[in-house]
Amino acid sequence: MRLINRTPPARLDLVLKAAPFVLLALAYTIAAIARHDANAGDKVLPTLGQMIGGVREMLFTRDLATGQYLMLADTIASLRRLLSGLGLAVVISFTLGIVVGMIPYAKRLLLPFITALSMVPPLAILPILFILAGIGETAKIALIALGTAPYMLRDLVLRVEELPRPQLIKAQTLGASSWQIALRIVIPQMLPRLIDGVRLSLGPAWLYVISAEAIAAQDGLGYRIFLVRRYFAMDIIIPYVLWITLLAYIFDLALRALQTAAFPWFAEAGRQ
């Protein structure tokens, strides 16, 4: 049979899916053991035990300076920035995306400008944000919003334009005003697509969180990673990276679940 027609049997499914993860963990363990055999004090590839020790330290020991549990405080600080920045970006890009996608005057006025704006590398304007807004939370949240909004906005404009023209004509022949078309036809069909946009923007959003924290912050997951790098504390860095990855993965799963639960028609219509 052709390769493109061969599908793995059900019992192999989980094995195949888990294999790369298991292989990576195995390779790491072998390398770590080898390095520790050569040098018992190796810090570059900590063993599982060392990492558990590092995590335990970050989770359950109060920081001397702040009196906080650091990993919890870091997670809360980073998530707050991520959600504020992404939330701001979603509100702005959804509103503008619908307006620009639907109204020709708004499109002529704003689309070239937005397209130009989206070419500005967000990290390059971080110094400007710091100068304008200080190195507090505002600049970080602005960076995340500026970094993710243009993409989501342009994506939404394209999605609105993709709506079949007959649908909009049909709505008008049913007597709908522009406002009613936005409310009943366009916005409801854009919401599940917005979720897709947010899912794809999660990666960049995390990138900007970590960057902003690495450059100027007193807490946060990115701040911590870059801080402990000075002591070669791989037993903290690696668990932190895994934790960030897990958080991002959970968000992605949650958004996908929300999409199927809230918009049952979306997958059906996509299949047609």
Q: Give yes or no for residue 266 binding another protein (CB under 8 A).
A: yes
Q: Give yes or no for residue 173 binding another protein (CB under 8 A).
A: yes
Q: Give yes or no for residue 260 binding another protein (CB under 8 A).
A: no
Pick the binder of another protein from 184, 229, 245, 246 (CB under 8 A): 184
Alpha-carbon span 129 to 43, nearest angstrom: 37
Residues 6+ apart with CB under 8 A from 151: 118, 197, 200, 201, 204
H-helix or E-strand spanning residue 271: helix 264-271
* Site pattern 113..152 for another protein (x: CB under 8 A): ----------------------------------------
* 137 exposure class (CB count in 10 Å sphere: 0-12, 13-18, 19+): middle
* 16 exposure class (CB count in 10 Å sphere: 0-12, 13-18, 19+): exposed
Inter-CA distances, 149 with 145, 164, 204, 209, Å: 6, 25, 11, 14
Pick the binder of another protein from 29, 66, 180, 245 (CB under 8 A): 180
By beta-carbon proximity to another protein, the closer residue of 49 and 175 is 175
Q: Give yes or no for residue 104 binding another protein (CB under 8 A).
A: no
Q: Give yes or no for residue 269 binding another protein (CB under 8 A).
A: yes
By beta-carbon proximity to another protein, the closer residue of 94 and 208 is 94
Pick the binder of another protein from 69, 151, 226, 263 (CB under 8 A): 263
Alpha-carbon span 133 to 136, nearest angstrom: 7
Pick the binder of another protein from 174, 242, 246, 250 (CB under 8 A): 174
**Min. distance of Cβ 165 from another protein in angstroms?**
8
For helices 187-215 and 137-162, the axis angle rounded to 10 degrees is 150
Pick the binder of another protein from 20, 67, 121, 164 (CB under 8 A): 164
By beta-carbon proximity to another protein, the closer residue of 69 and 266 is 266
Angle of CA points 256, 140, 81, to nearest 5°: 40
**Min. distance of Cβ 102 from another protein in angstroms?**
14
Alpha-carbon span 258 to 262, nearest angstrom: 6
Q: Give yes or no for residue 262 binding another protein (CB under 8 A).
A: no
Q: Give yes or no for residue 175 binding another protein (CB under 8 A).
A: yes
Q: Which residues bind another protein (CB under 8 A)?
A: 164, 166-167, 169-177, 179-180, 183-185, 188-189, 263-266, 268-269, 271-272
